[in-house]
Copies of this chain bind each other. A is one copy, B any other.
Amino acid sequence: MAEKVTIATVARHARVSRQTVSNVLNTPQIVREETRQRVQEAIVALGYRVSQAARQMRTGRSRLIAMRIEPTRDGINGSVLDRFLHGLTESAEVAGYRVMLYTAGDTEREITAYDDLLSAYDLDGFVLTGTDHGDPRTAWLAEREVAFVAFGRPWDDLTAHPWVDVDGAAGTARATRHLLERGHRRIGFLGWPAPSGVGDDRRAGWRAALHAAGIDPAGLERAVEDGIAEGEWSMRDLLNADEPPTAVVCASDSLALGALQAVRASDPAVAVVGFDDTPVAAATGLTSVSQPLGEAAARCVDLLTAVLDGDQQSPEPVLLQPSLVLRHTA
């Protein structure tokens, strides 16, 4: 039975002290090159690996970051978080961190979960998603000086905490301009009721693009909760107007899918663009605005490690540009 390889085993093998091995691992610059190499060879030869538990006990840091996994409500938009999570795990591994999952029924229980994760597992940081106006979670974490990054802007105060987000307005603007170039003039918008950080942002992009083209958006928009059925009937409503749109930009693929069903029967083909580029969009040939989720996840890890390494308290937020994936519907 192979004996456990500890830092002491390596030290003996390389004929140095424990501390020198530790220095090779943590502060290699203070170790003489020759010694460093000797220790490195011993590490490889013995297959040594640092015990995170022991390190954690001494330093109080676990090299673990946590993210909440939500029950896939909609299922359609759920895949966005799924892809983000994969990117996060991958980027975290490169930076020497691991991702731990947790669930929480509501915000209150989420805060209880923080408390538990922090005291029992010495978690290093959190990645939050779907932060909203005056989120109690960010306040709780900030108060206790826990490192965290949000995927999604703090809409009240953009300097409240580090964040990474995708420029939704730029995405809808791009979609709208694409439709304008295709000759559409009456371009509708299906979005969510205000106030909604994400929703208002996406609406603003559409509106700005129309304004820039000298078109009045009045009467061309509808605001409903997210969902396929909601998308379908609000699109029908839009089509029944005096001057119905010939194209529509939607705040989500769910709405777009509903719109598509409403439009199917209509005579002159009405163009539809969705948002998020979910698998459903790919499956049904829906043109959609795509978020660079892998990139977003990588930036989250960057910001989080910057805070954890103490480089800076609040690193510059990151705003990424989405792209338009053209398919059959527009």
On chain B, the residues within 8 Å of A120 by CB distance are 49-52
CA A88 to CA B62, docked complex, whole Å:
22
Per-position 1/0 for A68-105, Cβ under 8 A of B: 01111011101100110110011001000011111100
Who on chain B is nearest to A56 by CB? Answer: B53
Answer yes or no: A122 CB below 8 A from chain B CBs: yes
Answer yes or no: A288 CB below 8 A from chain B CBs: no
CA A53 to CA B122, docked complex, whole Å:
8
On chain B, the residues within 8 Å of A51 by CB distance are 57, 119-120, 122
Is the interface on chain A under 10, 10 to 19, 20 to 34, or 35 or more residues?
A: 35 or more
Copies of this protein in the assembly total: 2
Answer yes or no: A30 CB below 8 A from chain B CBs: no
CA A198 to CA B211, docked complex, whole Å:
54
Contact assessment for A98 and B121 in the assembled complex, using a CB-CB cutoff below 8 Å: yes
With beta carbons under 8 angstroms apart, the residue of B49, B79, B122 that contacts A82 is B79
Contact assessment for B53 and A62 in the assembled complex, using a CB-CB cutoff below 8 Å: yes
On chain B, the residues within 8 Å of A25 by CB distance are none
Answer yes or no: A179 CB below 8 A from chain B CBs: no
Answer yes or no: A257 CB below 8 A from chain B CBs: yes
Contact assessment for A99 and B98 in the assembled complex, using a CB-CB cutoff below 8 Å: no
Answer yes or no: A250 CB below 8 A from chain B CBs: no
On chain B, the residues within 8 Å of A278 by CB distance are 75, 279
Answer yes or no: A249 CB below 8 A from chain B CBs: no
With beta carbons under 8 angstroms apart, the residue of B62, B70, B71, B98 that contacts A101 is B98
With beta carbons under 8 angstroms apart, the residue of B72, B103, B122 that contacts A279 is B72
Answer yes or no: A218 CB below 8 A from chain B CBs: no
Contact assessment for A86 and B70 in the assembled complex, using a CB-CB cutoff below 8 Å: yes
With beta carbons under 8 angstroms apart, the residue of B53, B56, B83, B101 that contacts A72 is B83
CA A51 to CA B284, docked complex, whole Å:
50
Q: State which residues 27-71 of A face B: CB under 8 Å.
A: 47, 49-54, 56-57, 62, 64, 69-71
Identify 11 residue pairs between A and B in the complex whose beta-carbon atoms are under 8 Å apart, listed by A's number. A49-B119, A53-B54, A53-B57, A69-B89, A75-B278, A76-B283, A78-B279, A89-B101, A89-B103, A90-B103, A98-B102
Binding site for B on A (CB under 8 A): 47, 49-54, 56-57, 62, 64, 69-72, 74-76, 78-79, 82-83, 85-86, 89-90, 93, 98-103, 116, 119-122, 228, 254, 257, 278-280, 282-284
